[in-house]
Amino acid sequence: MQKYLAKSNPEETIQEHTDNLLKNYQRLKKLYPAVEIDWYLLELVCLLHDLGKMNLLFQTKLGNASSKGKEIPHGYLSVAFVPDSKLEEMGYSEDEIKVVYQAIARHHERKYDFSDSEWKKEIIKLEEQWAGFTYSQLGENAEYSSEVEMLYFYPGSRIFEGNSAADAETFKKYVLLKGLLNRIDFAASGGIDVELENDFLMDSMEMQLGHFKAENPEADWNALQKYMMQHQNENIVVIAETGMGKTEAGLLWLGNNKGFFTLPLRAAINAIYGRITKNIVTTNQAERVGLLHSETYSQYLLHEGNAEMDIDEYYTRTRQMSLPITICTLDQLFDFVFRYAGFEHKLATLSYSKVIIDEIQMYSSDLLAYLILGLSYIDKFGGKFCIMTATLPGIVTDLLLENGVGFVQPEEKFVSSRIRHSMEMVHTEIESEFIKPFFNNNRILVICNTISKAKKIYSELKEHFQGEEIHLIHSQFIKKDRSAKEKAILKDGQKDSTKKCIWVATQVVEASLDIDFDLLFTELSDVNGLFQRMGRCYRNRALDVDTNVYVFDGGAKVCSGVGIDNFIDKLIFENSKTILNEHAGVLTEEKKMELVEQVYSTEALSGSKFYNDLIDKLNYVKAFESYLMDKADVRRRFRNINSVSVIPEKVWQDNAEEINSYFATLRKTSKEISTKEKMIARTNLAEFMVSIPDYLYRKGEGVVHEINRYESVIKFKCDYSDEIGIFMR
């Protein structure tokens, strides 16, 4: 045999595929020469990684040969060509040579389900294929051996992080070598560039400043934004109030570097993506700025009208992290902390990237633990991070320092002297009777901690104000209805809106919606959540009334959603209640920040469920042995998924024809229909779905409808209306 294939559709030889790797290797080296990698070893693993595909069993699978037996994953066979004697002569240590073997063997994470004798037998067989294989790029960099030196590699071996400094350094070299090989290999297979250059962002920011100056010749970057530019090469933690231009500040800190911008909620991410592509990076977005979360493709479909965009290529670049700027959720980036089989490409990429963490105060205890640990890895591997937040829980900086992470933090807080809120504490549970007298040609926002409480308040207000604009929004609406409600509340919530309305909501409006209501009535959750909620009232206005925020603290009781089995920690709730009652009345932005620091200091949190969960999760993941979990397990654990996506039975009945048409599309084979058509069908089907908590799912009955062997949809027996969402019969 003279032609050895790397893949069959489209047909590509091992040599052609490796040529593509080498082009991407050169591109990565040119764009990021300062990466802490041994560039010769990276080139070597690129050259050797697929030579094991010469084996006849692999070629038989591609229809290029005829042979029988048990196929060994090709990475384990490619190690037969590592030139260990040359590496020894060049002065590489035993550990460094082990790293080369491991990076090649495990560049695909395949199950080790073969015996050593089966492996050795297949390696011996490669000698015949090697005799007929020619590839000029190899030069003196391949050295076939029918017997792999067990000192350096055997199939069951792994490189672990270990406890010593030497082990940690070897692990770092392995992660970088294997991770960058993965990135280069993925790019070559996907027909894309491994990296696209950020040579535009600072010019784009200067153009943005030019637009500001056109409106006001005195315009300039503010103190926060100038501080970020001055500290571009450092880890930074900054506190700045909403409206201080944090997005621009983060981008100025990023500069012309590779970067990731993370936020807690998809809606907030979509909004930042829209803002950056509309106002800052206005050309060639598909090569510059990406959006990465669980609904990326459906969001890209909304932007498909852009003539320069090939949506499938854009999606591939985004998923492969090839774009200069990626705006994403935490789970898309920081799941590497579990060190699952195949995590290395993420951490290797972050080793030469800058990460912006926005609104850190919104993360739950488990996500905060993953974030702290992730930042410690990024710091150790050479990447940089910036935490920007309106309020900073004191425990965050304490835990960063405890985990050896250095950062700079300005002494000043970036706040204005503007006063936006005056708060009255109401010592009862939230009640509609209190709210009713305030509805008078104005726009009122009511926020409850739980959906059941929101439904109750909504029903009472709706019945009392018949014929008036009373609306409800929470998380248990199908996606189509939720989107419509978000658009409606955004419209009603513009500060210049003259519409008279009441919106009753849950915490879904806390951080993602740019709305500005006249009055806020809210249950107390904690100081953090409260100040987020306050941002939906007088968002960009100076206080011009006696009181615009009414906080119900439950009186002798606790508010809904508080307690052991709920999402609000009781100790944090009680501490928040005490401190807020001491500071009722006018609240400056600086005072809000101080109260959050007090309630969320390490000392104040000690003994709380939040604190115990945070420390337990941090220690658990630190102690977790690498490679034990697969990626699917990590995704479930990282997202803390305790919900089920369903289509309510009534929705299914009312839209049966449309839903069945999407089923028919998704059941077609790849020969019958394009990937894009399937993605569109999947996106449209998701419009009828809603995510419900496990406890609610267990109360009803779900019927599984299979689309194909990989996908299914659950029809959930419940009532549903676009007015109040799901309700049980």
Four-residue CA torsion sign, 425, 428, 430, 431: negative
Question: What does the angle CA 497 – CA 499 – CA 500 come to, to the nearest 5 degrees?
Answer: 135
Contact 24, 188 (CB under 8 A): yes
Tokens of 57: 């069993």
The residue count for the chain: 729
- Within the chain, which residues score under 70 in pLDDT? 1, 304-309, 512, 639-642
What pLDDT is stored for residue 684 in this prediction? 94
What pLDDT is stored for residue 9 in this prediction? 83
Counting beta carbons within 10 angstroms of the beta carbon of residue 203, is it exposed (0 to 12), middle (13 to 18) or buried (19 or more)?
Answer: exposed
Q: State how far the Cα of 595 lies from the Cα of 527, in Å rounded to an integer.
A: 7
CB atoms closer than 10 angstroms to residue 59: 20
What pLDDT is stored for residue 512 in this prediction? 65
Radius of gyration of the chain (CA): 28
DSSP label at residue 72? P
Which has the closest alpha carbon to 19: 170, 229, 185? 185
Which has the closest alpha carbon to 650: 709, 719, 581, 700? 719
Amino acid at 654: D
Q: State how far the Cα of 110 lies from the Cα of 104, in Å rounded to an integer.
A: 12
Query: Residue 645 pairs with which residues in a beta bridge?
Result: 691
Q: State how far the Cα of 489 lies from the Cα of 502, in Å rounded to an integer.
A: 10
Direct distance between the N- and C-terminal alpha carbons of the chain, in angstroms, rounded to an integer: 68
